[in-house]
Amino acid sequence: MIDHKDRFIGSLLGTCIGDILGAPVEGYSGDEISASFGQVDRFIPSSRGYGCYTDDTQMTIALALSIIRCGEVDPEDCARSYAQLYESGRGYGWGASLILKSLKKGADYRQTGRSQFRQGSFANGGAMRIAPVGLVYRDKEDNDLRRAVYNAIMCTHVHPEGIDGAVLQASAVGLMTKIEDKHRFDPEVFLKVLFNVAQTEVFKTRIKALEEILDLSIPDRDAISILGNGVKASQSVPCALLATIRYYKRPEDAIIKAVGFGGDTDTIGAMTGAQIGALHGSGWIPAHWFDNIENNKYGRDDIINIAGRLSDITV
């Protein structure tokens, strides 16, 4: 049986590893990745350095720190935490970057979610960072989880699709923490629960598509052409779910496959890593990944420590 604390560690390290693996090929198609690298099964040096993570992990850490500080999700503190950790070189989305800079200067976190896009951002910046909420609120009713997710992302993401994507990712992570025997994870049941959690038509349609894809066993590249793999939450969250339902038995492979889908690779990798780590804990992580994760302030050892403190919280 996987220990409760180790699932938190696995989920946050899984986020970080998926992010690091995917970042150098973000924006490549699956075919371009195959042609250039075969499989991305090792860290590739990038302009940020070797083993360095991006906004996906930085915002996940900021959210986890805020929950530890407040004992729950507090929207104002979350916004402050994202702004405090923000570093421009971490590959942030254009809108998110402007919002975080404005928050740093004192903008009202209740207004910033609509400051760049009138309906809010439909991208995956809420979903990519939401694992800590899924872990801590795993036993809560759907409405309570949804409220916590909204509070955690409202300063940057208020579009219904951006929110639904984050709720589904948090639910997926939370559900994984409750699978006592990893060999008994049932992808069909998992998708059914998520279908009922989804509130937008686009996500309901994509989850139905995932159910059909699972039945038909069609190749990954055909599945990706149905789902899409871009920055929209409605594309990238279903892709992460696809990697999980197809490859959950082999955690290392699940993340490699997720990155190989192409498109928003760091984010699809990070979200798959968060789900897979919540199921398998951290024992599966190969040394050549673990040893090479950046390890200065808020690097690998701090992430493990933060995950441990997060696992002590009861909401």
User: In the complex, which residues of this chain contact Mg ion (CB under 5 A)?
Assistant: 54-56, 91, 264, 266-267
202 binds, among ligand F2R, Mg ion, none (CB under 5 to 8 A by kind): none
- Closest approach, Cβ 223 to ligand F2R, in A, equals 20
Which of the listed partners (Mg ion, ligand F2R, none) does 113 bind, with a CB threshold of 5 to 8 Å by partner kind? none
Q: Select 56 or 164, whichever has its Cβ closest to Mg ion.
A: 56
**SS3 state of residue 209:** helix
- Residue 125 binds which entry of ligand F2R, Mg ion, none, CB below 5-8 Å type-dependent: ligand F2R
Least distance CB 91 / Mg ion (angstroms) = 5
Give me the residues paired with residue 278 across strands. none
Is-contact 310 8, C-beta < 8 A? yes
Task: Compare residues 179 and 294 and give the one whose CB is closer to ligand F2R.
Answer: 294
Distances (CA, A) of 179 to 139, 190, 218, 275, 285: 13, 10, 26, 11, 19
Residue 129: name its binding partner from ligand F2R, Mg ion, none (Cβ under 5 to 8 Å by kind): none
Helix ranges (H only) for the chain are 4-22, 30-37, 55-70, 75-85, 94-104, 131-136, 142-153, 160-177, 187-197, 201-216, 220-227, 233-247, 251-260, 265-280, 287-290, 300-311
Question: What is the smallest separation between the CB atom of 132 and ligand F2R, expressed in angstroms?
Answer: 16
- Taking the alpha carbons at both ends of the chain, their separation in whole angstroms is 24
Please state, in angstroms and rounded to a whole number, the distance separating the CA atoms of residues 205 and 211.
10
Rounded least distance, CB 98 to ligand F2R, Å: 8
Shorter beta-carbon distance to Mg ion: residue 54 or 151: 54
Question: Which residues make up the interface to ligand F2R (CB under 6 A)?
Answer: 23, 26, 54-56, 91-96, 117, 119, 121-125, 128, 159, 231, 264, 266-267
121 interacts with, out of ligand F2R, Mg ion, none, CB within 5 to 8 A per kind? ligand F2R
